[in-house]
Amino acid sequence: MSALFQDYLSGILLVVVTSLLVTWAYVRYSYGYWKRRNVPYLEPKFPFGNSNSLIPKGIAIGVISKEFYNRFKSMGYEMIGDIMVKDFQSFTDRGIYQCESDPISVNIFAQPGAEWRAARTKLTTVFTSAKMKAMFLLMLECSEGLKEALEKFAQEKTDVDMLEVAGCFTTDVIGLYICFSLTKRLTKQFVGSCAFGISCNSFKHPDAEFRRMGRKIFTEFNFMDRLNLFLSIYAPNFSQKIGVRNIQKDVSKFFFRTVKDTVDYREKNNVQRNDLLQLLIDMKNSEVQMSMNELTAQVFLFFAAGFETSSSTTTLALFEISQRPEIQEKLRKEMRDVLSKHNGQITYDAIAEMKYLAQAVDETLRLWPPVSTITRVCTQDYQLKDTDLTVEKGLFVLIPVLGLHHDPEYWPDPTRFDPDRFSDENKESRKPFTYLPFGEGPRNCIGLRFGLLQTKIALVTVLSRYKVTLSPKTVLPLGADPQTFVLQNLNRVYLNLEQV
């Protein structure tokens, strides 16, 4: 019996030791990939190679890719244009994990090649100029909630947690855009009414489900969420086989429930609305035949991509502007001049006329690009121009947006906030592909105009009414949070408002 047990133990030991040896050999071999090809590289460290962004106290992905960029930029950045635009057909995918058993992950951001192209063609119709103009009215309606909240802060002379306030505004905008009517009457009927268990008036209900889910998508990961994320990034094929999900279960459940209830309600009651969901419902019922799973996944992605990027841009623009009184005054003067030409009303055309505002937003996106690293995956072997190096199918490419945006060669004194960098004259002399806040090429940001518009409306709402200063409560430097994939700050931005 004891000999049998010993044999059993030795067997287990042998399996364990062999597995460890095989893993070690595999890791060593993988770490030698660039050395074997004679390409300059950073020595990877066990167990996370060159990336430790998923472990507590790690480094944000944008900061890691900036470090790579600073080390190797002498190799030339021209290949970025080839990869994103000219030779896009060899780099159509983003390499984001998706898993059929978690249908919400199969969205336009993650979809590969042909599936992505079909989805992009369908969804592009959502962002026409006419739709943007209609959307503008809805954004203005949502800015009423922002106005009220700001008034309260100013009267009570309390610090404004700007990311939270901007997050409420953009959540309402995107929530309404996705699911609710563009007409005032119907919007009023639904805002805050919890018609389908949703409340989308984040200012009145800061813990409304839409807002709670929004916060959760980017910042709240428990141990299992973290483990799932880790597996989906480092072992995607294995993760797909065992059904690992990279989006939190309750977030996924919320979107499936909400979208299903809303679609059922509209179909049963023959309700038609002028919003994204209607467009997707029409597609579902047309020859395009979008499934309910795809429809829900796209709704989720628009929500996730649409609110956080713009709320952090608004917050960081105000962070910079609060510390530069001369820039703030110039912006306010422009706002007043333009608004006075439009009877004091914020209109679509008035926003388009505010050139210095556009420059300030562009400069914020240079200094603080929410998507600080863009990814592409090589989808067919690719010969890198002027080299004998073949980029192999399946290889991941990181495009170091933060590194490019902070490079003193293209942006002298790069940490200084200076909207004049984006004057017409300076824009003309800029090198291509050194400014990529919305990506580039066929897979660039589909919501670019939407994002800029809601950011500008929020800024006009704040700056045309209040002088903004940075509260001493703000801990500096802000620092980049390693735990999220968008560039988020570790420390909150607190502002003080004084009516002008």
- Site for ligand HEM, rule CB under 6 A: 108-109, 120, 301-302, 305-306, 309-310, 313, 365, 370-371, 374, 437-440, 443-447, 450-451, 455
By beta-carbon proximity to ligand HEM, the closer residue of 55 and 85 is 85
Yes or no: say if 246 and 228 are a contact pair by the CB < 8 Å rule: yes
State the minimum distance, in angstroms, from the CB of residue 366 to ligand HEM: 11
Please identify, using beta-carbon distances, which residue of 261 and 362 lies nearer to ligand HEM.
362
Q: Which residue is nearest to ligand HEM (CB)?
A: 439
Do 68 and 34 contact (CB within 8 A), yes or no?
no
State the minimum distance, in angstroms, from the CB of residue 256 to ligand HEM: 19
For residue 98, the minimal CB distance to ligand HEM (Å) is 12
The span from the CA of 324 to the CA of 304, in Å, is 31
Q: What is the DSSP letter of 45?
A: B
Among residues 323 and 375, whose Cβ is nearest to ligand HEM? 375
- What torsion, rounded to 10 degrees, do the Cα atoms 227, 229, 232, 234 define? -80
What Rg value do the Cα atoms of the chain yield, rounded? 24
Both tokens of 145, joined, read 């909630």
Quote the least distance from Cβ 129 to ligand HEM, whole Å: 15
Please name the residues in contact with 438: beta carbons below 8 A apart, sequence gap of 6 or more: 444, 445, 448, 451
Q: What is the DSSP string of 83-149?
A: IIIITGGG--B-----BTTBGGG-STTT--HHHHHHHHHHHHGGG-HHHHHHHHHHHHHHHHHHHHH
Q: Closer to ligand HEM at the Cβ: 231 or 290?
A: 290
Does 200 appear as a known binding residue? no
Distance of CA 495 to the CA centre of its chain: 24
CB nearer to ligand HEM: pick between 231 and 371? 371
302/433 with CB nearer ligand HEM: 302
Nearer to ligand HEM, 374 or 468 (CB): 374
Q: Which CB sits closer to ligand HEM, 443 or 465?
A: 443
Find out whether 334 and 357 touch, Cβ atoms under 8 Å.
Answer: yes
Pick 91 or 153: Cβ nearer ligand HEM = 91
CB of 346 to ligand HEM, least distance (A): 19
Q: How far is the CB of 315 from ligand HEM (least distance, A)?
A: 11
Strand partners, 280: none
Question: Which conformational region is residue 217 in: left (phi greater than 0), alpha (psi within -120 to 50 degrees), or beta?
Answer: alpha
Nearest CA among 78, 89, 77 for reference residue 442:
89
Distance CA 7, CA 350 (A): 82
Cα-to-chain-centroid distance, residue 470? 25
Minimum distance of ligand HEM from residue 230's CB (angstroms): 23
In this complex, which beta carbon is closest to ligand HEM, that of residue 311 or of residue 328?
Answer: 311
Strand partners, 469: 496
**Least distance to ligand HEM, CB of residue 263, Å:** 19
Cβ proximity to ligand HEM: between 208 and 401 the closer is 401
Q: How far apart are CA 311 and CA 451, in angstroms?
A: 9
**Omega before 477 cis (within 30°)?**
yes
Alpha helix (H) residue ranges in 342-443? 348-353, 355-367, 401-405, 424-428
Query: Residue 47: is the preceding peptide bond cis (ω within 30°)?
Result: yes
Q: Which of 50, 172, 106, 62 is nearest to 484 (CA)?
A: 62
Who contacts 72 (Cβ-Cβ below 8 Å, separation ≥6)? 40
Q: Report in angstroms how near the CB of residue 453 gets to ligand HEM at its nearest.
A: 9
Is residue 354 within 8 Å of residue 338, measured between CB atoms? yes
- Least separation in angstroms between residue 371's CB and ligand HEM is 3
Provide the token pair at 249: 């279960």
The distance of closest approach from Cβ of residue 345 to ligand HEM in the complex, given in angstroms and rounded to an integer, is 23
* Structure-token pair, residue 385: 């121009």
The annotation places the binding site at 445
The annotation places the binding site for heme at 445
